[in-house]
A and B are shown apart, each in its own frame.
Chain A
Amino acid sequence: MSVRNGVLVLSDGEMFEGELIGAISNSPITGEVVFNTVMSGYQEVISDPSYAGQIITFTTSHLGNYGTNDTDDESERPRCRGVVIRELARRRSNWRATEDLDGYLERHNIVGIAGVDTRRLTRHLRDHGAVPGAIGIDRDATAAAARDALTTDGIDLVTTVTTDRTLRHETDSGSARRVVAIDCGIKTTMVRHLSGLASVEIVPASTTAEDILARSPNGVFLSNGPGDPAAVDYIVDTVRGLLGRVPIFGICMGHQLLGQAVGATTFKLPFGHHGGNHPVRDLETGKVEITSQNHNYCVDLEGVADLEVTHLNLNDGTLEGFRCTNVAAFGIQYHPEAGPGPHDSAYLFDRFARLMDEHSGATATAGAR
Chain B
Amino acid sequence: MPKRTDIRSILIIGAGPIVIGQACEFDYSGTQACRVLREEGYRVILANSNPATIMTDPDFADATYIEPLAIDVLEKIIERERPDALLPTLGGQTALNLAMELFEAGVLERYGVELIGANAGAIATAEDREKFKQAMIEIGLEVPPSGTAHNMAEAHEVIATIGLPAVIRPAYILGGKGTGIASTPEEFEVIASNGLDASPISEILVERSIAGWKEFELEVMRDRADNCVIICSIENVDPMGVHTGDSITVAPAQTLSDVEYQTMRDAAFACIRRVGVETGGSNVQFAVHPDTGQMVVIEMNPRVSRSSALASKATGFPIAKIAARLAVGYTLDEIENDITRVVDPDTGEVLRSTPASFEPAIDYVVVKIPRWAFEKFPGTTGVLGTQMQSVGEAMAFGRTFTEALQKTLRSLEQGRGGLNGDALESEFDSLDDEALLTAVGRATPDRIYAVESALRRGIPLDVVYDTCRIDPWFLDQMLQISEERAELTSIGFDAMDPATWRRAKRFGFGDGQLAYLWGIDEATVRAARIAAGVVITYKTVDTCAAEFEAATPYHYGTYEDTSEVVPSSRDKVIILGSGPNRIGQGIEFDYCCVHACFSLGDAGYETIMVNCNPETVSTDYDTSDRLYFEPLTHEGVMNVIEAEQQSAADGGGRLLGVIVSLGGQTPLKLADSLPRELILGTSPDSIDLAEDRDRWNSLCAQLEIPQPAGGTATTIEGALAITDRIGFPALVRPSYVLGGRAMEIVYDADGLRSAIAALAGLSGLGREGLLSADRPVLVDRFLEDATEVDVDAIRDHTGEVVIGAVMEHVEEAGVHSGDSACMIPPMGLSEATVAVIESHVRSIAEALDVRGLINVQFAVKHSGDHPDATQVFVIEANPRASRTVPFVAKATGVPLVKIAARVMCGATLAELREEGLLRPAVEGDHVAVKEAVLPFSRFPDADALLGPEMRSTGEVMGIDLTLGQAFAKSQLAAGDRMPEEGTVFMSLADRDKRTGTRAARVFTELGFSIVATEGTAAHFRTEGIEVTEIVSKISDVAGRPIDSTGVDAVELIAAGKVQLIVNSPRGRGPRADGGYIRAAAGRHSVPLLTTAAAALAAANGILETRRHPLVVRPLQEYHAGVHTQG
- Seen from chain A, the residues whose Cβ lies within 8 Å of a Cβ on chain B are 16, 35, 37-41, 43-44, 59-62, 65-66, 69, 71-72, 86-87, 89-96, 117-120, 122-123, 126, 274-279, 281, 286-288, 290, 314-316, 338-343
Q: Does B545 contact A (CB under 8 A)?
A: yes
Q: Are the CB atoms of B561 and A16 closer together than 8 Å?
A: yes
29 residue pairs from A and B, CB less than 8 Å apart = A37-B363, A39-B362, A40-B256, A40-B261, A41-B257, A41-B261, A43-B257, A59-B361, A62-B365, A86-B400, A87-B399, A87-B400, A90-B480, A93-B472, A117-B561, A118-B363, A119-B399, A119-B546, A120-B560, A120-B562, A122-B545, A275-B361, A277-B361, A279-B355, A287-B225, A288-B333, A290-B229, A314-B355, A339-B258
Q: Does B227 contact A (CB under 8 A)?
A: yes
Residues of A close to B262: CB separation below 8 A:
338, 340-343
Q: How far is the CA of A65 from the CA of B250 in the complex (A)?
A: 14
Q: How far is the CA of A59 from the CA of B261 in the complex (A)?
A: 18
In the complex, given contacts A66-B255, A277-B544, A315-B354, what are 19 additional A-B residue pairs having Cβ atoms less than 8 angstroms apart? A37-B363, A39-B233, A39-B361, A40-B256, A59-B361, A59-B546, A62-B254, A65-B254, A65-B473, A96-B259, A119-B363, A119-B546, A122-B545, A276-B359, A288-B333, A314-B333, A314-B354, A341-B258, A343-B265
Q: Are the CB atoms of A61 and B400 closer together than 8 Å?
A: yes
Which B residue's beta carbon lies closest to that of A271? Answer: B547
Which of A37, A119, A279, A287 has the most CB atoms of chain B within a 10 A radius of its CB? A119
Q: Are the CB atoms of B258 and A340 closer together than 8 Å?
A: yes
Residues of B close to A96: CB separation below 8 A:
257, 259, 293
Other-chain residue from B257, B291, B354, B549 in contact with A66 (beta carbon distance below 8 A): B257
Contact with A along B241-256 (1 / 0, CB 8 A): 0000000000011111
Q: Are the CB atoms of A72 and B225 closer together than 8 Å?
A: no
Q: Are the CB atoms of A93 and B257 closer together than 8 Å?
A: no
Residues of A close to B787: CB separation below 8 A:
none
A317 CB, nearest partner CB in chain B, Å: 10
Q: Does B938 contact A (CB under 8 A)?
A: no
Which A residue's beta carbon lies closest to that of B288? Answer: A95
Q: Does B375 contact A (CB under 8 A)?
A: no
Q: Are the CB atoms of A38 and B258 closer together than 8 Å?
A: yes
A58 CB, nearest partner CB in chain B, Å: 9
Q: Are the CB atoms of A275 and B547 closer together than 8 Å?
A: yes
Scan residues 266-316 of chain B and give those whose CB is less than 8 A from a CB of chain A.
266, 289-293
A211 CB, nearest partner CB in chain B, Å: 35
Q: Are the CB atoms of B333 and A279 closer together than 8 Å?
A: yes
B561 CB, nearest partner CB in chain A, Å: 4
Q: Does B471 contact A (CB under 8 A)?
A: yes
A72-B259, A91-B473 as given contacts; A277 in contact with B354, CB under 8 Å: no
Which B residue's beta carbon lies closest to that of A286? Answer: B225
A157 CB, nearest partner CB in chain B, Å: 24
Q: How far is the CA of A35 from the CA of B548 in the complex (A)?
A: 12
Q: Does B554 contact A (CB under 8 A)?
A: no
Q: Are the CB atoms of B332 and A288 closer together than 8 Å?
A: yes
B346 CB, nearest partner CB in chain A, Å: 21
A66-B257, A92-B473, A277-B358 as given contacts; A61 in contact with B547, CB under 8 Å: no
Residues of B close to A35: CB separation below 8 A:
547
Q: Are the CB atoms of A61 and B363 closer together than 8 Å?
A: yes
B1125 CB, nearest partner CB in chain A, Å: 49
Which of B333, B400, B473 has the most CB atoms of chain A within a 10 A radius of its CB? B473
Binding site secondary structure of chain B: loop
Q: Are the CB atoms of B257 and A72 closer together than 8 Å?
A: yes
Q: Does B401 contact A (CB under 8 A)?
A: yes
Residues of B close to A69: CB separation below 8 A:
257
Other-chain residue from B259, B358, B471 in contact with A93 (beta carbon distance below 8 A): B471
Which of B229, B255, B545 has the most CB atoms of chain A within a 10 A radius of its CB? B545
Which of B259, B400, B476, B480 has the most CB atoms of chain A within a 10 A radius of its CB? B259
A61-B363, A89-B473 as given contacts; A40 in contact with B258, CB under 8 Å: yes
Residues of B close to A95: CB separation below 8 A:
289-293
Residues of A close to B255: CB separation below 8 A:
65-66, 93-94
Which A residue's beta carbon lies closest to that of B562? Answer: A120
Q: Does B456 contact A (CB under 8 A)?
A: no
Other-chain residue from A62, A65, A117, A126 in contact with B547 (beta carbon distance below 8 A): A126
Q: Are the CB atoms of B545 and A37 closer together than 8 Å?
A: yes
Q: Are the CB atoms of B290 and A91 closer together than 8 Å?
A: no
A277 CB, nearest partner CB in chain B, Å: 4
A298 CB, nearest partner CB in chain B, Å: 16
Which A residue's beta carbon lies closest to that of B232? Answer: A39
Q: Are the CB atoms of A93 and B561 closer together than 8 Å?
A: no
Q: How far is the CA of A37 from the CA of B547 in the complex (A)?
A: 8
Q: How far is the CA of A314 from the CA of B545 in the complex (A)?
A: 17
A72-B257, A94-B257 as given contacts; A290 in contact with B359, CB under 8 Å: yes
Which B residue's beta carbon lies closest to that of A89? Answer: B473
Q: How far is the CA of A198 from the CA of B547 in the complex (A)?
A: 38
Q: How far is the CA of A96 from the CA of B265 in the complex (A)?
A: 19
A89-B473, A96-B257, A290-B358 as given contacts; A37 in contact with B544, CB under 8 Å: yes
Q: Are the CB atoms of A59 and B225 closer together than 8 Å?
A: no
Residues of A close to B800: CB separation below 8 A:
none
A312 CB, nearest partner CB in chain B, Å: 10
B354 CB, nearest partner CB in chain A, Å: 5
Q: Does B357 contact A (CB under 8 A)?
A: yes
A69-B257, A290-B229, A314-B333 as given contacts; A122 in contact with B546, CB under 8 Å: yes
Q: Does B360 contact A (CB under 8 A)?
A: yes
B989 CB, nearest partner CB in chain A, Å: 59
Q: Are the CB atoms of A315 and B355 closer together than 8 Å?
A: yes
Residues of A close to B290: CB separation below 8 A:
95
Which A residue's beta carbon lies closest to that of B472? Answer: A93
Which A residue's beta carbon lies closest to that of B499? Answer: A5
Q: How far is the CA of A228 from the CA of B671 in the complex (A)?
A: 60
Q: Are the CB atoms of A38 and B400 closer together than 8 Å?
A: no
Q: Are the CB atoms of A315 and B363 closer together than 8 Å?
A: no
Q: Does B990 contact A (CB under 8 A)?
A: no
A60-B362, A278-B358, A341-B258 as given contacts; A39 in contact with B252, CB under 8 Å: yes
Other-chain residue from A66, A275, A288 in contact with B256 (beta carbon distance below 8 A): A66
Contact with A along B342-353 (1 / 0, CB 8 A): 000000000000
Residues of B close to A120: CB separation below 8 A:
560-562
Q: Does B831 contact A (CB under 8 A)?
A: no
Q: Does B539 contact A (CB under 8 A)?
A: yes
Q: Does B364 contact A (CB under 8 A)?
A: yes
Q: Are the CB atoms of A277 and B258 closer together than 8 Å?
A: no
Which B residue's beta carbon lies closest to that of A58? Answer: B363
A103 CB, nearest partner CB in chain B, Å: 16
Q: Does B226 contact A (CB under 8 A)?
A: yes
Q: Are the CB atoms of B362 and A287 closer together than 8 Å?
A: no
Q: How far is the CA of A3 from the CA of B331 in the complex (A)?
A: 50
Q: Are the CB atoms of A61 and B546 closer together than 8 Å?
A: no
Scan residues 525-574 of chain B and give those whose CB is less than 8 A from a CB of chain A.
539, 544-549, 560-562, 564
Scan residues 364-413 of chain B and give those whose CB is less than 8 A from a CB of chain A.
364-365, 399-401
A61-B364, A62-B400, A277-B358 as given contacts; A287 in contact with B226, CB under 8 Å: yes
Q: Are the CB atoms of B401 and A62 closer together than 8 Å?
A: yes
Q: Are the CB atoms of A288 and B357 closer together than 8 Å?
A: yes
Which B residue's beta carbon lies closest to that of A123? Answer: B546
Which A residue's beta carbon lies closest to that of B332? Answer: A288
Residues of A close to B355: CB separation below 8 A:
279, 314-315
Other-chain residue from B253, B259, B359, B561 in contact with A277 (beta carbon distance below 8 A): B359
B339 CB, nearest partner CB in chain A, Å: 13
A7 CB, nearest partner CB in chain B, Å: 12
Q: Are the CB atoms of B548 and A126 closer together than 8 Å?
A: yes
Which of A37, A60, A61, A62 has the most CB atoms of chain B within a 10 A radius of its CB? A61
Which B residue's beta carbon lies closest to that of A64? Answer: B473
Residues of B close to A290: CB separation below 8 A:
229, 357-359
B69 CB, nearest partner CB in chain A, Å: 37
Residues of B close to A72: CB separation below 8 A:
257-259
Which of A66, A274, A278, A314 has the most CB atoms of chain B within a 10 A radius of its CB? A66
Closest 8 CB pairs of A and B: A41-B258, A340-B258, A93-B473, A91-B476, A59-B545, A37-B361, A117-B561, A117-B560
